[in-house]
């Protein structure tokens, strides 16, 4: 009596269901699955059905389908025709072992949904969120050649950069509000203080005055301020401090990007008769709704000898404090 192997019967059923079947003479290269996970392979199609019964007797009791490339947990495998598997969404069933590629190492646990860790945030102290390299909620990165410092606290992200134009200090600031409530943005109370070598407040320059001084090349950058070496969350005695903006510990979107493109790298980028719409670039005051962001530029008086500076940006009930350094030309 002629006996048909069980897998040929199941292959015929898959053919009727529109699923792939290995052709005559093809070698399925089915290897024992020794690990606790496997990847679904399905040459020529996009999915493979799995059933509720191990024998996969006709009529097939299909539980669901597996997409090519899916990772499944292998609950049991007796090296028979099928293996007992569990999908990402918790469904269990049996699938022909020929459609599984064993993995030598178990993958990371398969979440039912995106469980990427929520970004860390800073806890303000007495209403002040102070930027420190490596601290929760703090980030530093380079955007369009500018060093940017970023703080997230109380659902609000503030990002700033500081450049020396050779005539004025130029501050670019962006604010993103995800706090769930409106917050007040008041550029007139943003302050820039020189800490070294002299301790003094640097007075802001009105947009009107800057607008009437185009020949001073207000968008030039003769020097870019970098994060202060003293602003680090933790230090090892004798350890060399690495530039914080190169190694990111907390990745946030670059809210300043579109505004930084307006500030050119080299003084020669603008002609002396340049026309810059300063009013359009200036950071505006007002109430910022939750889910919205704003960005703009401010100018402050310059001290050519300044080395360490503190930029304070009040938003809502929090003061965001940033530390910058400027290397003076010898």
Q: Is pLDDT larger for residue 20 or for residue 53?
A: 53
Higher pLDDT, 251 or 238: 251
- Predicted pLDDT at 210: 83
Please compute the mean of the pLDDT values over residues 218-247 and round it to a whole number. 65
What are residue 306's phi and psi, to 5 degrees? -65, 135
pLDDT score, position 219:
76
Q: What is the pLDDT of residue 271?
A: 40
Per-residue pLDDT at 185 exceeds 80: yes
Q: Helix-strand-coil percent breakdown of the chain, rounded to 5?
A: 10, 35, 55
Average pLDDT over residues 312-330: 88
Tokens 């719409």 -> residue: 277
Q: Which of 7-11, 33-37, 90-94 has the lowest mean pLDDT?
A: 7-11
pLDDT in tens, 248-291: 555 788 888 766 655 444 444 444 445 567 778 899 999 999 99
Rounded Cα–Cα distance for residues 146 and 265 (Å): 9
pLDDT in tens, 215-228: 556 778 889 999 99
290: tokens are 């939750």
- On average, the pLDDT of the chain sits at 77
| Lowest model confidence (mean pLDDT) among 49-58, 169-178, 261-270, 296-305 | 261-270
Dihedral of CA atoms 175, 176, 181, 184 in degrees, nearest 10, equals: 10
Give residue 215's pLDDT: 54
Cβ atoms of 284 and 174 closer than 8 Å: no
Residues 193, 202 contacting (CB under 8 angstroms): yes
Q: In the predicted model, is pLDDT for residue 294 greater than 90?
A: yes
Q: Which whole number is the average pLDDT over 303-316?
A: 94
3-state SS class at 157: strand
| Token pair in block for residue 8 | 């040929």
Domains of the chain: 6-21+29-102 (2.30.30.40), 128-233+241-325 (no CATH)
Q: What is the C-alpha separation between 196 and 90, in angstroms, rounded?
A: 61
Which residue is it, tokens 């009040």?
314
- Strand ranges (DSSP E) for 77-155? 82-86, 92-96, 100-102, 128-130, 138-143, 146-153
How big is the chain by its Cα radius of gyration, in Å? 31
Residues of the chain with pLDDT > 90, as a percent, come to 36
- Distance of alpha carbon 196 from alpha carbon 151, whole angstroms: 23
In this structure, are residues 308 and 323 in contact, taking their beta carbons and an 8 Å threshold? Answer: yes
Say if residue 197 is exposed, middle or buried (CB neighbours under 10 Å; 0-12, 13-18, 19+). Answer: exposed
φ/ψ of 144, rounded to 5, equals 55, 40
Q: How far apart are CA 132 and CA 227, in angstroms?
A: 9
pLDDT at site 12: 44
Average pLDDT over residues 77-92: 84
Residues 3-28 have a mean pLDDT of 44
Cβ-based burial of 68 (10 A; exposed 0-12, middle 13-18, buried ≥19): middle
Read off the pLDDT band of 70 (50, 70, 90).
Answer: confident
284 or 238: which leads in pLDDT: 284
- In this prediction, residue 325 has a pLDDT band, given cuts at 50, 70 and 90, of very high
Please count the CA atoms within 13 angstroms of the CA of 40 that sit on its side-chain side: 24
CA distances to 147, 185, 249 from 172, rounded to whole Å, are 11, 14, 22
pLDDT > 90? residue 172: yes
Q: What is the mean pLDDT of residues 233-261?
A: 57
């Amino acid at each position: 009596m002629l006996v048909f192997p069980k897998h040929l019967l199941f292959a015929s059923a898959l053919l009727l269901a529109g699923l792939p079947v290995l052709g005559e003479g093809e070698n399925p290269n089915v290897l024992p699955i020794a690990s606790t996970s496997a990847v679904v392979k399905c040459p020529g199609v996009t999915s493979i059905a799995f059933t509720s019964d191990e024998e996969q007797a006709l009529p097939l009791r299909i539980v669901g389908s597996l997409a090519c490339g899916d990772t499944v947990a292998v609950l049991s495998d007796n090296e028979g025709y099928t293996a007992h598997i569990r999908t990402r969404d918790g469904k269990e069933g049996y699938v022909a072992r020929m459609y599984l590629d064993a993995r030598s190492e178990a993958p990371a646990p398969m979440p039912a949904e995106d469980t990427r860790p929520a970004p860390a945030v800073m806890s303000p102290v007495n209403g002040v969120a102070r930027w420190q390299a490596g601290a929760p909620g703090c980030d530093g990165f380079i955007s369009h050649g500018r060093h940017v410092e970023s703080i997230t606290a109380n659902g609000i992200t503030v990002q700033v950069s500081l450049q020396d134009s050779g005539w004025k200090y130029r501050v670019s600031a962006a604010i993103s509000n995800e706090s769930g409530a409106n917050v007040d943005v008041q550029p007139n109370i943003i302050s820039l203080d020189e800490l070294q070598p002299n301790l003094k407040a640097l007075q802001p320059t009105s947009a009107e005055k800057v607008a009437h001084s185009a020949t001073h090349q207000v968008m030039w950058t003769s020097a870019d301020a970098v994060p202060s070496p003293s602003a680090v969350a933790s230090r090892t005695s004798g350890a060399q401090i690495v530039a914080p903006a190169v190694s990111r510990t907390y990745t946030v979107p670059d809210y300043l990007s579109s505004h930084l493109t307006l500030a050119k790298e080299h003084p020669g980028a603008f002609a002396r008769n340049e026309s810059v719409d300063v009013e359009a670039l200036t950071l505006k005051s007002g109430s910022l709704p939750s889910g919205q962001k704003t960005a703009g530029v401010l100018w402050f008086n310059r001290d050519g000898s300044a080395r360490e500076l503190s930029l304070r940006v009040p938003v809502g009930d929090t003061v965001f404090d940033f530390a910058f350094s400027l290397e003076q030309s010898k």
